[in-house]
Amino acid sequence: MSESMTLPLHMRRAEFDPAAELAAVRDEEGVRKVRTVFGVDGWLITRFADVRAVLGDAERFSNAHQMVFRIPGMPQRTDEEIAELRAGNLLAFDPPEHTRLRRMLTPEFTVRRMRRLEPRIHDIVTEHLDAMERTGPPADLVTDFALPIPSLVICELLGVPYDDRADFQRRSGRMLDLSLPPQERAAASLESRVYMGELVARAKADPGDDLLGMLVREHGEDLTPAELAGIGSLLLLAGHETTSNMLSLGTLALLRNPEQLELLRKEPERIDAAVEELLRWLSIVHSGMTKVTTTDVEVAGQRIPAGEIVICALPAANRDPALAADPDRLDIGRDSLGHVAFGHGVHHCLGAPLARMEMRVAFPALLQRFPGLREAGPEPAFRSFNVVYGLSSFKVAW
Amino acid sequence: MSEEQKPVRIRADRDVCIGAGMCVMTADQIFDQDDDGVVVLLEPEPPAQYADLVRRAVRACPSGALSLVED
Ligand code: HEM
Ligand code: HEM
Ligand code: SF4
């Protein structure tokens, strides 16, 4: 990491909380001009209503005009190279191109589909708890529980060999690590596409009944190999890095709020509400993709010209008193409906039903198996320079 | 409350729906998803006791596909 690099404001936190300065922007001016990780200026949107409005307006706030490819110091890419890098990445398109891709994927992520996966998720969780119990305390909750469970689930769903996990977990780690030079992140992203391209070629020759096989069978004609690889790459990354950090950070949040933990243990039927509240309170994705204004707009009284970068601070919005009373308190008894931890609008998390299912199975199973679960020290390591907030290690005993 | 007694009429715009399933998770008595993941109303005019649940689903929908038809 280059020492001169400072963490962008929307990513600054004090353990579980957004930085005081970020909350102050929300409570005072609402919108502030900031320096983005790309080294150019952008506008930070912090209030709940404004964030929902921006995320809900793909016409005036575009994902397709990505600045990612125009970072100062990055080698200039040709249009073809850029097209190849974007192909299949839902987050890099606006409607109607986005709609075309999303429509092919939604059938695989319906609530009903996810309910069918539930028994298998139970088995995977049980296997990992058994392994922790066999080895005995202490354990690292990240490497023994939080990371392998969603990784295995997304591998089975997609049709990615789980034995390749060391490689793809390392690549995802580098893609999301904002302390690395953009060139290195881009290289990791290219490697991931090459790897996924091989899996796609295999699926084309012999499509299985997993998601890659389904895409090849049902949309093999409409999707280019680059698109197929891009979709696979995005799902693999988004499918394990996110849920994994919710599981580790969420467990720590419950342990540090013992009265909430006690309530959940006593009344396990509260799990759905607890998951929503943890999503809101932790808001592990700092912001969605950066957006670019397609016209002059006004947000929170601030005029923003066309062609400027806009960043939505999800943790600030989710701690807005306009969404929840006493918002900085973790309260599994509250109704956090409408929170933006999964984003909002057309890019609202495709995997949300899967992530919710994984959490509603994994948290209760963990708490039930180890009634004496506790931090074992050293202090859990919060990771900051990352697209997804969370823990890089978390030692527990029971 | 008299508000609660009024029947609710739901409108679902299937072209806008992104299949996030928030409505199904909130009220699966009233909403379903077809094989393409697109919202289907099981009950376009649910009885008044569902009014609250329906309002929650409308609020939860990330795409703006759902609305209440007020008479
Ligand atoms: C603050 C928010 C974010 C920033 C600043 C950011 C930045 C970047 C950058 C610099 C790259 C490398 C692009 C390249 O040159 O190849 C990238 C790629 C990528 N990002 Fe993000 N990102 C953000 C949010 C997200 C989120 C929330 C997700 C997923 C849920 C995501 C998924 C990806 C993926 C999958 C790639 C690889 C792209 C590809 O293979 O085409 N990003 N991002
Ligand atoms: C608790 C875990 C998760 C959180 C907090 C989360 C959060 C998010 C957020 C905030 C976005 C919107 C990004 C934006 O607007 O730029 C997003 C998009 C996305 N997520 Fe998730 N996610 C989670 C789990 C998953 C899982 C398990 C999968 C995959 C199976 C997944 C796949 C995706 C995809 C494909 C998109 C892009 C959707 C689109 O552009 O249409 N996510 N996620
Ligand atoms: S919540 Fe909205 S977007 Fe999601 S399935 Fe229901 S109607 Fe469609």
Domain residue ranges of chain A, discontinuous segments joined by +: 9-397
pLDDT at residue A70, rounded to an integer: 56
Which ligand lies nearest the alpha carbon of A387? Answer: 1
In short, whether A63's Cβ falls inside 6 Å of ligand 1 is no
pLDDT, tens digit, for every residue of A151-173?
999 999 999 998 998 888 889 88
> Please, which pLDDT band fits residue A3 given cuts at 50, 70 and 90?
very low
Main-chain phi, psi angles of A166, to 5 degrees: -55, -45
Nearest to A351 by CA among A118, A187, A130, A108: A108
Put simply, the answer to whether B24 touches A111 (Cβ < 8 Å) is yes
- B13 Cβ neighbours under 8 A, 6+ residues apart: B64, B65, B66, B67
Which ligand lies nearest the alpha carbon of A146? Answer: 2
Lowest average pLDDT, out of A35-44, A187-196, A340-349, goes to: A35-44
For the segment A336-360, the average pLDDT, to the nearest whole number, is: 94
Put simply, the answer to whether A111 touches B38 (Cβ < 8 Å) is no
Return the higher-pLDDT residue of A229 and A70.
Answer: A229
- A156 Cβ neighbours under 8 A, 6+ residues apart: A120, A162, A210
Q: Find out whether A157 and A211 touch, Cβ atoms under 8 Å.
A: yes
pLDDT at residue B44, rounded to an integer: 87
CA angle, A246 then A249 then A251, to 5°? 95
Closest chain B residue to the Cα of A343, Cα to Cα? B62
B36 touches chain A (CB under 8 A): yes
Q: Which of B66, B67, B68 to mutate to test the pocket of ligand 3 (most atoms within 8 A of CB)?
A: B66
Question: Chain B closest CA to A170's CA: distance in Å?
Answer: 30
Question: Chain A closest CA to B66's CA: distance in Å?
Answer: 13
Q: Which residues of B touch A112 (CB under 8 A)?
A: 24, 33
Q: Is the dihedral of CA A254, A269, A364, A239 positive or negative?
A: negative
Distance, CA of A279 to CA of A356 (rounded, Å) = 9
In short, whether B61's Cβ falls inside 6 Å of ligand 3 is yes
Q: Which of A103, A111, A345 sits opposite B21 (nearest CB)?
A: A111
Tell me: pLDDT of A81 over 90: no
* Gap from CA of A265 to ligand 1 centroid (Å): 37
Query: How many beta-carbon contacts under 8 Å exist across A and B?
Result: 58
Question: Chain B closest CA to A105's CA: distance in Å?
Answer: 9
For the segment B3-31, the average pLDDT, to the nearest whole number, is: 85
> Please, which pLDDT band fits residue A321 given cuts at 50, 70 and 90?
very high
The DSSP result for A304-371, as a single string, is: E-TT-EEEE-HHHHHT-TTTSSSTTS--TTS--TT--TT--GGGS-TTHHHHHHHHHHHHHHHHHH-T
> Please, which pLDDT band fits residue A111 given cuts at 50, 70 and 90?
confident
B13 touches chain A (CB under 8 A): no
Q: Which of B35, B36, B62 sits opposite A348 (nearest CB)?
A: B62
CATH architecture of A9-397: Orthogonal Bundle (1.10)
List Cα–Cα distances, A262 to A175, A267, B66, in angstroms.
37, 8, 37
Closest chain B residue to the Cα of A340, Cα to Cα? B62
**Interface mutation vs chain A, best among B15, B18, B26, most A CBs within 10 Å:** B18
Lowest average pLDDT, out of A69-78, A365-374, A381-390, B26-35, goes to: A69-78
Q: Which of B17, B30, B42 to mutate to test the pocket of ligand 3 (most atoms within 8 A of CB)?
A: B17
Q: Residue A288 class from Cβ within 10 Å (0-12 exposed, 13-18 middle, 19+ buried)?
A: buried
Tell me how far apart the terminal alpha carbons of chain A are, to the nearest angstrom. Answer: 36
pLDDT at residue A320, rounded to an integer: 97
Q: Which of A86, A160, A242, A348 to mutate to test the pocket of ligand 2 (most atoms within 8 A of CB)?
A: A242
pLDDT, tens digit, for every residue of A288-318?
889 999 999 999 999 999 999 999 999 999 9
Q: To 10 degrees, the CA torsion angle through A336, A342, A345, A347?
A: -170
Tokens of A43: 């506008």
Lowest average pLDDT, out of A37-41, A134-138, A391-395, B15-19, goes to: A37-41
A 140-199 residues with CB below 8 A of B?
none
User: Which atom of ligand 2 is least distant from the CA of A101?
Assistant: 41
> Please, which pLDDT band fits residue A232 given cuts at 50, 70 and 90?
very high
Q: Which of A56, A103, A345 sits opposite B36 (nearest CB)?
A: A103
- A132 Cβ neighbours under 8 A, 6+ residues apart: A139, A144, A145, A370
> How many C-beta atoms surround the C-beta of residue A182 within 10 A?
18
B41 touches chain A (CB under 8 A): no
**CATH code at B55?**
3.30.70.20
- Domain around B23: 3-69
Asked if the ipTM is above 0.90, the reply is no
pLDDT at residue B5, rounded to an integer: 63
Percent of chain A scored above 70 by pLDDT?
Answer: 96
The DSSP result for A36-103, as a single string, is: -TTSSEEEEE-SHHHHHHHHT-TTTEESSS-GGGG-TTSPP--HHHHHHHHTT-GGG--TTHHHHHHH
pLDDT at residue A5, rounded to an integer: 61
Put simply, the answer to whether A107 touches B18 (Cβ < 8 Å) is no
Tell me: pLDDT of A69 over 60: no
* Gap from CA of A351 to ligand 2 centroid (Å): 6
Q: Please state the pTM of the whole predicted model.
A: 0.91
Q: How many domains does chain B have?
A: 1
Average pLDDT, rounded, for chain A: 91
